[in-house]
Chains A and B, each alone.
Chain A
Amino acid sequence: MSSQDSEEGIRPSDGYPLLQTRNLTKHYPGVTALDDVDFELRAGEVHVLFGENGAGKSTLISMLAGANQPNGGAIEFKGKETPLHSVHEARDLGISAVFQEFSLIPQLTVLENLFLGAEPTRGGLLDKKAALQHGQDILDRLEFHLPLDRRVDRLTRAEQQMVEIAKAFRSDLSVLILDEPTASLTDHETEQLFKLIGRLKADGVGIVYITHRMAEIRQIGDRITVLRDGRYVDTVDAATTSEDALVSLMTGRVVGQIFPDIQFEPGAEVLRAEDIVTADDAVRGASLSVRRGEIVGLAGLVGSGKSSFVQACFGARPISGGRVWLKEREVTGQPTADLLRDGFLYLPANRHTDGLMLMRSVRENMSLAALNTRPFSRGWMLDRRAESRAVDELAERLSLSPRRVERAVEHFSGGNQQKVMLARSLTRDFDLIAFDEPTVGVDVGTRAAIYEFIAQLCRNGVGILLISSDLPEILHLSNRAFVFYRGHIQTELTGADITEENVLAHFFEREAA
């Protein structure tokens, strides 16, 4: 139905350039997040931004929304060069963004949040009546059924998302930026959002839309701009471009090339988990087993419970039900230190918040999980010389660059930081290693090196759990795959059955059992 809308409204090709970037560049210390990007948004179109994690999509929209300032290049609004210094400045021009991280104050009401920073006043005092009137107008226009006096932290995530979108309609809107808006919405709410997008298009609003979902691109996208490693790749027509073409534009190579060949020879079982339920309800009854010499992929959306499940097995998250066996010995609820000793390592997804001590040296970060074992210590004392030797070898083997092990980890690039964390898997003998999103924010070259690293471990008879939101990773590396959805395992796929269709089919909806 939304395709009808676009035909009734202004055709995208008729729209004039509303928002344009020229040679837009953004450096962060150590990384170039965006490099020379040209992007054009016309009035009345839905322009999809497409690319891998870390391709620069978020950086681009943060600058379009005024939340970040570029180091080079220019942003033009309605044909005039317009530096955007703040989110407020962008809002005043009618450019509004809805980010994945909500900019809502949980303790304030819906109404207070709607007008935060732009409260209607009368004689210097808050004009509650006007705010109430205007707020209700906005919600009515959007057909959102929200109580204006409810505190935001009492709303569901989908309702919070609606508040966030409604905020964009405070003033006249000409550009709306949506960053994976449907990630937390139900089907019905998604449909409402798409209807709304259709109406906005008809009004000549330009919409920048980030999504990873092919179905959504088909349904509402007009044009697609693909970014890769911070660079502009191409802009294509949504209706005529095939999925395969999109994926190869996104990854920059024929899929499969960066993945190593692995002959799986599954051996003895190393991990068995039955009916795991976590105390925080993130996992509600999931069972699986891992054998030596195989890679078991765990797929699913963010928040589907795939990471929580492994963390629960690893003793890093309280379990309220179910049992875990490691090498045929029950280890349910045992502390992480014991599981490490028995040969189970979990490497977290977010290296900055969960994985690395950024201000400490490479040496200390690599040896962290093995400090109380040989060769890193003897008896009560650390063996500093043996530690240095072991770390030097690891740095060499993983081709850390630059190879300076006494340097603080924060001064390395993302890919090298990831290598430092991965090196932990070689500091002692492990029988089971869980990699959680091992290639997030990592360039393609390092990515291939990491896959080879994992494959090598697998060939040496280590059991591997690969937790990933990156579908090709699951498709090309795993021997068996489990798809998580809302804390349950939807399906188990083996060998040739691990296809994109099969995995995606279980990503969203629970099939009637």
Chain B
Amino acid sequence: MSEMQATAEVTRQPGDRLKLLFVRIGILPVLLVAALVIFTMLSDNFLTGRNLMNVLRQSVYLTIVSLGQMLALLTGGFDLSVGTILALTSVVGALAMASAYAAMPEAVWLAIAIGCFAGIAAGTLIGAINGVGVALFNVSPFMMSLGMASVGFGAALYLTGGVPVYGMPQAFGDTFGFGSLFGIPAPVYVAAIIIVVLYLFLNRTPYGRYFYAVGGNIKAAGLSGINTKLTLFWTYLLCGMMAAISGMLLTARLDTGEANIGASMPLESIAACVIAGVSLRGGVGRLENVVLGALFIGLVQNGMNLARIESYLQTVVLGSLLILAVIADQIRLRFVASLKA
């Protein structure tokens, strides 16, 4: 009998250690390795320097949106209007830039600045309205951002009549869409700057800590002197601004203002965060992991393209991955409880 117990303990130990490892690192590293192995086997062109740089460039847009989405998730909400913000930013920015350029063809950079400002302001405004609704009127983030998604999409279509907006200066696309410095595409620099600034903000300032506190326990945060309403307002404003910047970069890449971009952004950005271990209950999530999560989704999309998987099937895979990540998170929580007991 004592022998049986001994063997039982021996067999249990490695299992516990594996559990502990899983609890510590989460699902993302597992998925990353799996994706790398699978796609390298499926396509010879996958694991090349050029392709990986491609992945990096393609992932920039999702990465920036995911950073904003992470803020919303941290505070215990989410933002379903990020896709619309991309579209509205693109349309408003392109319209403003094209008309400024038409009015003063010699001041190219002024026109670009005006366009960028107008576009980002329009997107940020959607975020600010989300923030007012959630923070001030206690509308659930679900209803608020869903409603604003419809408002923004409608506005973008109304402004353009559904037709792409042309007439932006060539320099805009050349610089922010296709430009590169030291072999690294320009949008990657923009993303890098945002990542660094947001990292410092979240981890090195009291105000960053407030986002975690509001999501961690909003009552405790309030009783600790944190202005929870203001924090929530800033959450959605920053999330909107992030999506707007991404929208402007995408506009530069497309060289047109489009009302039809960004439809997959809400799902993909939430997926990137959840795969990266951001808790849907708020209060938990690390920025560096979210960047990896967004890169992972970019990697999967790129890999599936190279492996000639149909785009319709790709959305099936993405949705499945999201659900898988949530299930893995639940299993992780169960492991946490069982390791404690």
Contact = CB atoms under 8 A, between A and B. Distances in A.
B114 to A, nearest CB: 31
Interface residues of A, number: 34
B284 A368 contact: no
Contacts of A358: 216-217
Interface stretch (B119-127, B173-181, B222-230, B298-306): B222-230
A337 B221 CA distance: 10
A27 interface: yes
Contacts of A339: 225
Interface string B214-239: 00110111111111000000000000
B341 interface: yes
A368 B224 contact: yes
A357 B204 contact: no
- Chain A residues touching B, majority SS: mixed
Interface in A374-400: 376-377, 380-382, 384
Interface in B191-226: 203-206, 209-210, 212-213, 216-217, 219-226
A348 B219 CA distance: 10
Interface in A396-425: 411, 424
A466 B337 CA distance: 34
Nearest to A352: B217
A369 B213 CA distance: 10
Contacts of A364: 209, 212-213, 216
A138 interface: no
A359 B221 contact: no
Given A359-B284, A411-B340, A336 B205 contact: no
B224 A369 contact: yes
Contacts of B212: 357, 360, 364
B227 A335 contact: yes
A360 B224 CA distance: 15
Interface string A362-378: 00100011011000110
Contacts of A372: 206
A29 B340 contact: yes
Interface string A11-52: 000000000000000010110000000000000000000000
B100 to A, nearest CB: 35
B279 interface: yes
Interface string B275-311: 0000101011000000000000000000000000000
A27 B209 contact: no
A356 interface: yes
B341 A27 contact: yes
Interface residues of B, number: 26
A132 interface: no
A341 interface: yes
Contacts of B337: 29
Contact of B223 (A30, A354, A382): A354
A368 B228 CA distance: 13
Nearest to B220: A355
A360 B222 contact: no
A382 B220 contact: no
A411 B333 CA distance: 12
Contacts of A340: 224-225
Nearest to B340: A29
B111 to A, nearest CB: 35
Contacts of A381: 204-205
B220 A357 contact: yes
B25 to A, nearest CB: 16
B318 to A, nearest CB: 27
Nearest to A27: B341
Nearest to A337: B225
Contacts of A133: none
A357 B216 CA distance: 5
Contacts of A316: 222-223
Contacts of B210: 371
A346 B226 CA distance: 14
Contact of A336 (B203, B225, B284): B225
A30 B336 CA distance: 12
Given A359-B284, A377-B206, A382-B205, A348 B223 contact: yes
Contacts of B203: 382
A356 B213 CA distance: 9
A359 B216 contact: yes
Interface string B39-51: 0000000000000
A29 B225 contact: no
A357 B283 contact: yes
A353 B337 CA distance: 20
A346 B222 CA distance: 11
Nearest to A335: B227
Q: Which residue among A314, A337, A357, A358 has the maximum number of chain B CB atoms within 10 Å of its CB?
A: A357
A423 to B, nearest CB: 12
Interface of A: 27, 29-30, 314, 316, 335-337, 339-341, 346, 348, 353-360, 364, 368-369, 371-372, 376-377, 380-382, 384, 411, 424
Give the top 4 A-B pairs by smallest Cβ distance, nearest first.
A357-B216, A337-B225, A369-B224, A371-B206
17 contacts: A316-B223, A337-B225, A337-B226, A340-B224, A348-B223, A353-B219, A357-B216, A357-B283, A359-B279, A359-B283, A360-B216, A360-B283, A364-B216, A368-B224, A371-B210, A377-B206, A382-B206
Given A346-B223, A364-B212, A368-B221, 8 more contacts: A314-B223, A316-B222, A357-B213, A359-B284, A364-B209, A368-B226, A369-B225, A371-B210
Interface of B: 203-206, 209-210, 212-213, 216-217, 219-227, 279, 281, 283-284, 337, 340-341
